[in-house]
Amino acid sequence: MKKYIINIVLFIITVITTTFAGTLQRGLNPFIIKNLIAGLPFSISIIIILGSHELGHYFVARKNGISATFPYFIPAPHFIGTFGAVIKMQSPIPNRKTLIEVGAAGPITGFIFSTIAIIFGLKLSSLVKTSGMEGIRLGNSILFYILSKISFKEIKEGYDILLHPVAFAGWIGYFVTAMNLFPIGQLDGGHIIYGLFPSKQRLISLISVIIMVGFGFLWNGWLFFSLITMVLIGIIHPPTIDDYSPIDLKSIIIGIIAMILFILTFIPAPFSV
């Protein structure tokens, strides 16, 4: 129990910060205790989505005999309330097949829970007039756009969807899924690309960083993320213990599915004013 104390403390703090964030999203004062109930739908949803992503990595890693930590949630004092969650692999990856499975497990699991949150949250969302409204507008991914059109078949001119916090948590989940699936360095997408194309991984990473910089013309945040990625992660992926054993068809299919999810969840311009 003692070795999990940091995980537990960070989790509790993140529950608090995301509940505060969810309360603010409802236009309420989070320093009034009774108002915090309104923040719980967002907090619970985002914790489940981010936690499922990391636990996907964790359980597949353990299934393959790789030692890994439990998720560390990262609290943050902003309108989302968290910077996400991470786990740490404590033993090397044995081969490319395992690398693909571990790398894809998180995004695929997080994607499933994000989609559930979006479908349910859109049923709780409403249409509002946009004239005279101020605030941050959220961009669309391909799949989020499709799900929105299914829920709101006709949106009149001058109206837009006001997302319920549960749907917003799902939207963030898609954003996080796509971010992690960028085929760069040791991001989840980088793991998958190395597993599929080890000799071409460095070139694909470099091209992906350049593309990310290009998207900076649509949203400045991509410039920040490209810088952070280059400084903290880099484009080089370390080898597995056995890079030479061939991967099976199952691993190839998993990798393809993950890349399709990247295309479906990527948001070119996530935020605009």
Q: Which domain, by its residues, includes 168?
A: 2-272
Distance CA 113, CA 109 (A): 7
By the 10 Å C-beta count (0-12 exposed, 13-18 middle, 19+ buried), 10 is classed as middle
Distance CA 91, CA 70 (A): 14
Judge whether residue 80 has pLDDT over 80: yes
Judge whether residue 155 has pLDDT over 90: no
Give the mean model confidence (pLDDT) for residues 217-231. 93
Query: What does each C-alpha distance from 185 to 54, 86, 211, 214 come to in angstroms?
Result: 18, 16, 14, 18
What percentage of the chain has pLDDT greater than the value 90?
88
**Count of structural domains, the chain:** 1
Q: Report H helices in 26-141.
A: 40-63, 96-124
Distance CA 65, CA 85 (A): 22
Task: Match 């971010």 to its residue by tokens.
Answer: 179
Q: Any idea of the CA torsion for 114, 117, 119, 122, to the nearest 10 degrees?
A: -120
Closest by CA to 143, choosing from 44, 42, 267, is 267
Model confidence pTM above 0.75:
yes
114-151 pLDDT, tens per residue?
999 999 999 999 999 887 667 778 999 999 999 999 99
Closest by CA to 189, choosing from 129, 104, 87, is 104
pLDDT at 158: 84
